[in-house]
Chain A
């Protein structure tokens, strides 16, 4: 490793390895320290780096920040950053593991809904950055012979998830101009699982809840299963599912944007 490459590795280590002391500051011998000590100088860059990365997390997880409070959010981000150093200059990519971190983080572990709220926010974030839907070719679909195997494709912005917690309501309650009449129960007894579909329409990512059979149908499509197999999976959950109505709705909403034969 060249001299400059080594210096840069040490610099990032000092910024992202946690508390700086006179003993653990790797940059100590490289800096002019007549006026301010090495840990004082590196502390300026450490604070700036942590603040910049925390700001990225704040943009991706605004509801989590609101739920735990801005001050505690900053406290919580620091150990996450120390554990997960950024590896891309595109900070939109950063923060993928935040939900699992929250599940383990001692001070909030008892708030079991946070993990799934964070997962929902990450999916919102990804959906907002995904490529636009392509135009659905209804005419070509009409020409497909009934004997052919069709595999439908979800739009790039679509993301589906399930939770034992009412994360959809928690998310809604923490939006600007949130409806006032949302009733919330945090029992999480497993009898009221919710199934969420995120999809983008124009500039906005929309959230829609579906029942378990619809979720299973969409999950099968997401997993690349063909139309017949997706129907079988959905009917195993609810034999009365109205697939024709659902399929038309998903295509019109832009949730399904194409198909392969």
Chain B
């Protein structure tokens, strides 16, 4: 299993050749596991070569951890596809989302659909995470999604729900700082309250991405598109997250309107600068406290 540390970027097929030919200085890469289910595909053959030089994190979008469907062949088949891809890739981290995609009727929507945060949903998600961890024989990380609606019956906050899941199942958390920012805007909660209520030891990875805006019935919603640079407010929130959780592995995530690799590398450098800045402040504070303690 490969070690995932520092600031990585999404691996997109548009950049395969650059990674093969020039081996840019990136400590790790994250893939969408579902894009590599066929190990014979052209993409998988590129990945087989690229992974010789870069640790890989396997980010999944289809485990449907919030699906209430019982004995759901769509979910079970998907989990076994993930298992064989994970056995092949031996990724440093495996993650998916607090969301659902598959219904009881055997239908599947390729999207990260929101859950009502109820006791019923908690039991279902916890069981599904345990099942996934049993099948994969290792810990998975669960990511907070962006959402655009809330349910009438949803008594828990997302941070309570995630924190309890980590405690109940032993899963880790993947905090997407952009998703916190997007959902906080859409549902009128405070991003820092969210961050400050997530247990320190549970978080194992951070995601950063860009979003777009959309006017729906006269109201402005933020939409998580992963198609732009990280916005200034999210960089500020990221700094707070690094202060709270430490220098966790961080991903620059980009899935639509894929730019030149140089753009992703610039965003990576910004994240690295923030990690360095926080470490420097902490070091100064530590020295100052030590000196003050002596006098």
List residues of A whose CB falls within 8 A of some B CB: 1-9, 11-12, 15-16, 29-32, 35-37, 40-45, 48-49, 52-53, 56, 85-92, 128-132, 156-157, 203-204
Smallest beta-carbon distance B242→chain A, Å: 30
Smallest beta-carbon distance A150→chain B, Å: 26
**How far does the alpha carbon of A11 sit from the alpha carbon of B67 in the complex, in Å?**
12
- Judge whether B8 is part of the interface by a CB distance below 8 angstroms: no
Provide the residues of chain A in CB contact with B37, threshold 8 Å. Answer: 90, 92
Report which of B45, B113, B120 forms a contact with A11, defined as CB distance below 8 A. B113
Classify the secondary structure of A's interface with B: helix
- Judge whether B289 is part of the interface by a CB distance below 8 angstroms: no
| CB-nearest residue of chain B to A27 | B149
Smallest beta-carbon distance A43→chain B, Å: 7
Smallest beta-carbon distance B257→chain A, Å: 12
| CB-nearest residue of chain A to B223 | A44
Evaluate contact between A32 and B152: CB separation under 8 angstroms: yes
Provide the residues of chain B in CB contact with A36, threshold 8 Å. Answer: 149, 216-217, 219, 221
**Which among A8, A49, A157 has the highest number of chain B CB atoms within 10 Å?**
A8
Provide the residues of chain A in CB contact with B78, threshold 8 Å. Answer: 88-90
Known A-B contacts A32-B149, A56-B110, A87-B107; A3 and B120 likewise in contact (beta carbons under 8 Å): yes
Evaluate contact between A203 and B45: CB separation under 8 angstroms: yes
Q: List 20 A-B contacts (CB under 8 A).
A: A1-B104, A3-B120, A4-B121, A5-B104, A7-B116, A9-B103, A30-B116, A30-B153, A32-B150, A41-B149, A42-B149, A43-B216, A56-B110, A89-B62, A89-B77, A89-B81, A92-B38, A128-B42, A129-B41, A204-B42
**How far does the alpha carbon of A41 sit from the alpha carbon of B152 in the complex, in Å?**
13
Evaluate contact between A129 and B38: CB separation under 8 angstroms: yes
**How far does the alpha carbon of A71 sit from the alpha carbon of B261 in the complex, in Å?**
28
Contact with A along B133-155 (1 / 0, CB 8 A): 00000000000000011111100
- Judge whether B156 is part of the interface by a CB distance below 8 angstroms: no
With A86-B110, A203-B42 given, can you name 4 additional A-B contacts, CB distance below 8 Å?
A8-B69, A15-B109, A32-B151, A90-B78
Interface size on B, residues (CB 8 A): 49
Provide the residues of chain A in CB contact with B219, threshold 8 Å. Answer: 35-36
| CB-nearest residue of chain B to A203 | B42
Evaluate contact between B103 and A86: CB separation under 8 angstroms: no
- Judge whether B111 is part of the interface by a CB distance below 8 angstroms: yes
Provide the residues of chain B in CB contact with A15, threshold 8 Å. Answer: 109, 111
- Judge whether B230 is part of the interface by a CB distance below 8 angstroms: no
**How far does the alpha carbon of A3 sit from the alpha carbon of B75 in the complex, in Å?**
19
Provide the residues of chain B in CB contact with A37, threshold 8 Å. Answer: 217
Report which of A56, A85, A128 forms a contact with B41, defined as CB distance below 8 A. A128
Evaluate contact between A87 and B103: CB separation under 8 angstroms: no
Provide the residues of chain B in CB contact with A53, threshold 8 Å. Answer: 110
Evaluate contact between B74 and A8: CB separation under 8 angstroms: no
**How far does the alpha carbon of A130 sit from the alpha carbon of B217 in the complex, in Å?**
46
- Judge whether B40 is part of the interface by a CB distance below 8 angstroms: yes
Report which of B74, B115, B118 forms a contact with A88, defined as CB distance below 8 A. B74
Provide the residues of chain A in CB contact with B40, threshold 8 Å. Answer: 129-132, 156-157
| CB-nearest residue of chain A to B64 | A89
Evaluate contact between A89 and B110: CB separation under 8 angstroms: yes
Smallest beta-carbon distance B269→chain A, Å: 30
Provide the residues of chain B in CB contact with A90, threshold 8 Å. Answer: 34, 37, 62, 78, 81
Known A-B contacts A30-B116, A45-B111; A91 and B223 likewise in contact (beta carbons under 8 Å): no
**How far does the alpha carbon of A56 sit from the alpha carbon of B221 in the complex, in Å?**
26
| CB-nearest residue of chain A to B45 | A203
Known A-B contacts A8-B104, A89-B62; A49 and B149 likewise in contact (beta carbons under 8 Å): no
**How far does the alpha carbon of A8 sit from the alpha carbon of B108 in the complex, in Å?**
10
- Judge whether B179 is part of the interface by a CB distance below 8 angstroms: no
**Which among B38, B64, B107 has the highest number of chain A CB atoms within 10 Å?**
B107
Evaluate contact between A8 and B149: CB separation under 8 angstroms: no
Evaluate contact between A89 and B74: CB separation under 8 angstroms: yes
Contact with A along B69-110 (1 / 0, CB 8 A): 110001101100100000000000000000011111111111
**How far does the alpha carbon of A92 sit from the alpha carbon of B70 in the complex, in Å?**
24
- Judge whether B278 is part of the interface by a CB distance below 8 angstroms: no
Among residues 156 to 215 in chain B, which have CB atoms less than 8 Å away from a CB atom of chain A?
214
Smallest beta-carbon distance A44→chain B, Å: 5
- Judge whether B68 is part of the interface by a CB distance below 8 angstroms: yes
Smallest beta-carbon distance B43→chain A, Å: 9
Top 7 nearest A-B pairs by Cβ distance? A89-B62, A4-B68, A89-B78, A5-B68, A129-B38, A41-B149, A5-B104
**Which among A31, A32, A89 has the highest number of chain B CB atoms within 10 Å?**
A89
Known A-B contacts A5-B103, A31-B149, A45-B148; A88 and B68 likewise in contact (beta carbons under 8 Å): no
Evaluate contact between B120 and A40: CB separation under 8 angstroms: no
| CB-nearest residue of chain A to B121 | A4
